[in-house]
Amino acid sequence: MTWKTVMAMVAGVGFALPAMAQEREFRIGLITPPVHVWNQEVAALNETLQERSDGRFSLAVFPSGQLGNEATMLQQLQTGALDMAWLTSAELTFRVPDMAALHAPFLVDNIADAARVFRSDEAREILDALPRATGTVGLCYAMIGMRQMVMRNPITSAADLNGQRIRITPAPAISRFFEMFGAAPAPMPLPAIYDALANAQVDGLDMDYESIINFRYYEHAPYLLETNHHMFGMVALVSGRVWAGLSEEDRALISDAMQLHCDRTIDRFVEEEDDKLARLREAPGIRITEGVGPEFFGDIVERWDAEWGEQTPYVARLRELVASF
C-alpha cells in the first residue's frame, strides 16, 4: 500500500495524518534554463530529498521563468501557490534593503572571497528579515559567478560607457552603480535578454561567465570587460506558509538537503570560474579586456557606499568583513 493510498483512506474516515507521514511533491521555480548550474543542483536536490525522506518528498521543477519572472515567483511563494524557489539576491533587495549590500561594487576582488561573504554570519543575518518582508524563509545562499560586462562595441575607458544602454538584473542598487558612471541601465529578466541583444535594444549586459557561455551572448556582444564588479547571490527560499505546515523533523531534513546543494553550487562556481574564462578566450570573435578594476570607474566605490551606506549598515559591515580576510 502506498502512502497516497493510506492518505486517501485516512482522509476518507476523517483522521489527520501525522506530519511525518505526508507524501509531497514540492513545486520549485527558477529563472535559469535547464543547462544552468543552479538547475543541475536543483535536480540533484530532488534526488537528495527523495533519498533522505524514503521517497516521501520530491520536486516538480519549473525552469526558465516558466511560472513568471522572479517578482511573480516571490508573490507565488508568499501566497503558497509556489512551494520553493531559487531566486537572485537582486530580486530580494526590493523587499530587504540590507540585501543590497551584497551587491556593493568591488566588495570582493575574487570569487573565493565572494564565497566567504555568502557563508558569513553577516550574510546569514540578512536572511532573518525575509519572513516578515516576503513571507518566505531563506534557507541558504548560493551564487552565480562574478559579474562582468559584455558590450557590442569596443570599450577602452569609462567614457566609452557613457550613455550606453546596459541590461541589468532589476535591482535599484545595481541600477545606481551603472547610473553613477553615466550608463543607462536597462532592467530586464534573464529570459528576455537574448532577443533584446540580438535586436540591438541594448548595447551590452551586466552578466556572469556561466550565462555568457550558456546563452552565447558574445555572438552579439563580443567585447568582454573582465571587471568582477560585483558578486551575485542566490537565495534558496521556501514559502512561509508551506514551512509552517511542516514538522520540525521535515524542516530539518529539507534545510540540510538545501544547504548541501547551496554549498555544492558555491563550490562549483568557485572551482569552475577560471575555466569558464579560459573557455571564453577560445570563443569565436570574442575580445576580452582582462583585469579591469575599480580604478577604471574613478571614485565609484566611495560614491556608491556614501549613498547605499545610508540605506543599510551592512555596506560598512561587509566591507569590514572583507578587509579582515
Residues that bind ligand BEZ (CB under 6 A): 31-32, 88, 144, 169, 190, 207-208, 211
Name residues whose C-beta falls within 8 Å of residue 172's C-beta, 6 or more positions apart in sequence.
93, 94, 100
Helices (H), the chain: 3-12, 37-52, 70-79, 89-92, 111-118, 121-127, 130-134, 172-180, 193-198, 209-214, 240-244, 248-281, 300-308, 314-323
DSSP SS3 for 288: strand
In angstroms, the CA 319 to CA 294 distance is: 15
Angle at alpha carbon of residue 296, lines to 290 and 302, rounded to 5°: 130
And the C-alpha cell for 157? Answer: 575607458
Whose Cβ is closer to ligand BEZ: residue 168's or residue 253's? 168
Instruction: Note whether 203 and 185 are within 8 A (CB).
Output: no
Least distance (Å) from ligand BEZ to the CB of residue 93? Answer: 12
Residue 320 to residue 324: CA distance in whole angstroms: 6
- CB nearer to ligand BEZ: pick between 9 and 192: 192
Between residues 3 and 194, which has the closer beta carbon with respect to ligand BEZ? 194
Please say which residue, 208 or 250, places its beta carbon nearer to ligand BEZ.
208
Min dist CB 320 to ligand BEZ, Å, is 28
Shortest-Cβ-distance residue relative to ligand BEZ: 169
In the complex, what is the shortest distance from the CB of residue 207 to ligand BEZ, in angstroms, rounded to a whole number? 6
Question: Among residues 50 and 75, whose Cβ is nearest to ligand BEZ?
Answer: 75
Closest by CA position to 100, among listed 233, 207, 227: 233
Nearest residue (CB) to ligand BEZ, 207 versus 221: 207
Nearer to ligand BEZ, 32 or 228 (CB): 32
Q: Which residues contact 97 (CB under 8 A, 6 or more apart)?
A: 311, 312
Minimum CB separation of residue 121 from ligand BEZ in Å reads 25
Least separation in angstroms between CB 154 and ligand BEZ:
23
CB of 170 to ligand BEZ, least distance (A): 8
User: Identity (one letter) of the amino acid at 105?
Assistant: P
Output the smallest distance, CB 73 to ligand BEZ, in A.
Answer: 12
